[in-house]
């Protein structure tokens, strides 16, 4: 058999770059995507851009707009709240399982501590993309420490939608601070092995994030 190329193929690279732009609002909700312009900016032909956009369309991140065109899907406040309600239940389960396993899983504990330490380095100048990545890394560390692969598998398809919702609030200096304060609390409960407190803190954090995002999106919609 012919050995596989270890580098990502061009469509995957283009997909990842467009997804990054959607997640951090470089490509904001509602923006029309011109394939030729995007291909030129990325230094590729239109074919991988077209394939990547069709993949994003299947995920609901872009919508058809005009003749063979696309636009970034607007953020729906109600849909965001619904996503966070589900995530709240999943995060609560993950935190409880993580607290149960933390004493026996040294590598998982270390990974959570590293993610927490990385979050402590943020300041007013931290780019939005970095804030989102640090947030995802923190929660992913909890999912892995939980020891149930089905948790990450369930959440994975929703990360792109949640990452772009994070961009709505993490750009605000007050919220980025309060979010990491809540992360500190969740981590402390997990690392101490307090299953009930970890579960409650994780669920509260997710529901607060969903409610805050919904309120911001609703206010912007009314102001528009």
pLDDT in tens, 100-115: 999 999 999 999 999 9
> How far is the C-alpha of 211 from the C-alpha of 26, rounded, in Å?
24
The tens digit of pLDDT for each residue in 11-68 reads 899 999 999 999 888 899 999 998 899 999 999 889 989 999 999 999 999 998 877 6
| Residue 178 structure tokens | 């309060």
Give all domains of the chain, ordered by start, each with its CATH number: 10-72 (1.10.10.10), 77-223 (1.20.120.530)
- Residue 135's SS3 state is helix
Percent of residues, the chain, with pLDDT higher than 70: 95
> How far is the C-alpha of 75 from the C-alpha of 194, rounded, in Å?
36
> How far is the C-alpha of 128 from the C-alpha of 9, rounded, in Å?
27
Q: pLDDT confidence of 156, banded at 50, 70, 90?
A: very high
Q: Is 10 buried (19+), middle (13-18) or exposed (0-12) by CB count in 10 A?
A: middle
Predicted confidence at residue 182, as pLDDT, reads 95
Predicted confidence at residue 188, as pLDDT, reads 98
| Residue 140 structure tokens | 């992913």
Predicted confidence at residue 7, as pLDDT, reads 56
Predicted confidence at residue 123, as pLDDT, reads 86
Predicted confidence at residue 114, as pLDDT, reads 97
Model confidence, pTM:
0.87
> How far is the C-alpha of 194 from the C-alpha of 204, rounded, in Å?
15
CA-closest candidate to residue 73, choices 34, 37, 25, 38 = 25
Predicted confidence at residue 92, as pLDDT, reads 98
Residue with tokens 């998982």: 108
Nearest 10 degrees: Cα torsion 175, 24, 139, 81: 70
| Residue 42 structure tokens | 């990325």
CA-closest candidate to residue 61, choices 12, 21, 13, 9 = 21
- Sign, Cα dihedral of 75, 76, 78, 82: negative
| Chain length of the chain | 224
- Sign, Cα dihedral of 212, 213, 218, 221: positive
């Amino acid at each position: 058999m012919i050995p596989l190329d270890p580098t990502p193929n061009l469509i995957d690279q283009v997909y990842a770059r467009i997804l990054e732009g959607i997640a951090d609002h470089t490509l904001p909700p509602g923006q029309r995507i011109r394939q030729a312009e995007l291909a030129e900016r990325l230094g590729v032909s239109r074919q991988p851009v077209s394939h990547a956009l069709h993949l994003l369309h299947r995920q609901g991140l872009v919508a058809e707009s005009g003749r063979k065109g696309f636009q970034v899907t607007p953020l729906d406040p109600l849909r965001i709240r619904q996503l966070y309600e589900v995530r709240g239940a999943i995060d609560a389960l993950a935190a409880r399982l993580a607290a149960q396993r933390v004493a026996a899983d040294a590598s998982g504990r270390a990974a959570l501590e590293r993610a927490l330490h990385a979050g402590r380095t943020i300041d007013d100048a931290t780019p939005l993309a970095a804030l989102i990545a640090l947030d995802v890394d923190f929660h992913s560390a909890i999912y892995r420490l939980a020891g149930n692969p089905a948790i990450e598998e369930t959440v994975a398809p929703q990360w792109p939608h949640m990452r772009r919702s994070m961009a709505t609030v993490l750009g605000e200096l007050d919220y980025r601070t309060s979010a990491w304060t809540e992360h500190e609390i969740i981590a402390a409960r997990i690392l101490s092995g307090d299953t009930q407190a970890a579960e409650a803190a994780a669920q509260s954090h997710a529901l607060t994030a969903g409610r805050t995002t919904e309120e911001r999106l609703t206010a912007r919609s009314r102001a528009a």
